[in-house]
Amino acid sequence: MDRMLVVIFKDESSAYKGKKALQTINDNGDIGVYAYAILKKNPDGSSTVKQEDDGGPLGTLLGTSLGSLIGLLAGPAGVVVGATAGMLSGMTDDLNNSRIGSGFIQDVNAKLTPGTVALIAEINEDWTAPIDTQMEALGGEVFRRALNAVEKQVNDEDVASMKADLEHLKAEHAQSQADRKQKLQTKIDALEAKLQAAEAKAKQKREQQEAILRAKASVLQSKVAALNTRI
């Protein structure tokens, strides 16, 4: 099952130990780690995203679910980026793009107080014991939530609505008098431009999702291979 994992530690050192433990559990084949980050809550309420390496197999493609979650947890106080800028490419996405509910965000934020540090990861996990045992031994508090199936529905519905409006305007334009035609044409031109932009965004999103799915498939293949070597 694909899940979002957040482990909150009292200090940065413990969080990095937690990340190392997560990587070890992944290497053993007990879980599959798609991407990860470490976020520190500063005394002034702002957040610093820290990163030792490439953020996991997905690298800068974390921008959908994990990037959105980081943005939501960072909050309006802003983020001081201590890593590559691409890591937060999706942090301004809405809650739907994070693919988890607002209740999970509230639960985590209640514990992510100034001075604490969170290990955040998108993982594939069949059972919880390996992570819970390791993280709790390091003093971490574990939060996890299954990722829901929200994908491109909102954007598709928006495109469909614009297409319907466009057809209606064109039909009205065909039956209107000359003075009205020009006003309608202006609206048609503006809506066509918005539609093209929305379709281009949808294409970009599809391509990004396809790349992420390929990367995830590679992670799961590595997980299976690791398990096979233990049999």
pLDDT digits (tens, 9 = 90+) for 52-92: 555 565 555 445 578 778 888 876 544 444 444 444 444 44
Kindly give, in sequence order, each residue whose CB lies less than 8 Å from that of residue 125, ignoring residues fewer than 6 positions away. 1, 3, 5, 31, 32, 131, 144
C-alpha span between 66 and 87 (Å, rounded): 9
Of the three residues 146, 180, 198, the one that is the final residue of a domain is 146
For 29, 76, 86, 92, 220, the CA distances from 58, given in Å and listed in that order, are 17, 26, 11, 19, 12
Alpha-carbon torsion 66, 67, 69, 74, what sign? positive
Q: Are residues 142 and 157 in the same domain?
A: no
The verdict on 133 and 160 lying in the same domain is: no
Is the domain of 117 the same as that of 10? yes
Whether 98 and 199 map to the same domain: the answer is no
At 22-63, the pLDDT tens digits run 999 998 888 988 888 899 999 988 888 876 555 565 555 445
Q: At which of 146, 165, 194 does a domain end?
A: 146
pLDDT of residue 52: 53
Which structural domain, as residue segments, surrounds residue 222? Answer: 153-230
Q: What is the pLDDT of residue 79?
A: 44
User: Is the pLDDT at 97 greater than 80, yes or no?
Assistant: no
Q: Per-residue pLDDT for 111 more than 90?
A: yes
Based on the fold, state whether residues 66 and 160 are members of the same structural domain: no
Closest residue by Cα to residue 108 from 141, 136, 137: 141
Mark whether 127 and 166 lie in a shared domain: no
Q: What is the pLDDT of residue 216?
A: 78
Q: Are residues 139 and 209 in the same domain?
A: no
Q: How far apart are CA 76 and CA 114, in angstroms?
A: 14
Domain end among 82, 112, 146: 146
Return d(Cα 208, Cα 203) in angstroms, integer: 9
* Separation of alpha carbons 192 and 90, rounded Å: 26
- Judge if 101 and 9 occupy the same domain: yes
| Residues 77, 12 share a domain | yes
Number of domains in the chain: 2
Do 138 and 89 lie in a common domain?
Answer: yes
Q: Report the alpha-carbon distance of residue 165 to residue 157 in Å, rounded.
A: 12
Helix (H) or strand (E) holding 184: helix 178-230
- What is the token pair recorded at 86? 């691409």
Binning pLDDT at 50, 70 and 90, where does residue 210 land? confident
Instruction: Report how far residue 190's alpha carbon sits from residue 87's, in angstroms, rounded to the nearest whole number.
Output: 34
* 105 and 166 co-located in one domain: no
Nearest CA to 93 out of 65, 66, 68 is that of: 68
Q: Quick one: pLDDT band at residue 215, thresholds 50, 70, 90?
A: confident
pTM score over 0.85: no
Report the pLDDT averaged over residues 161-179.
87
> In terms of domains, do 85 and 114 share one?
yes
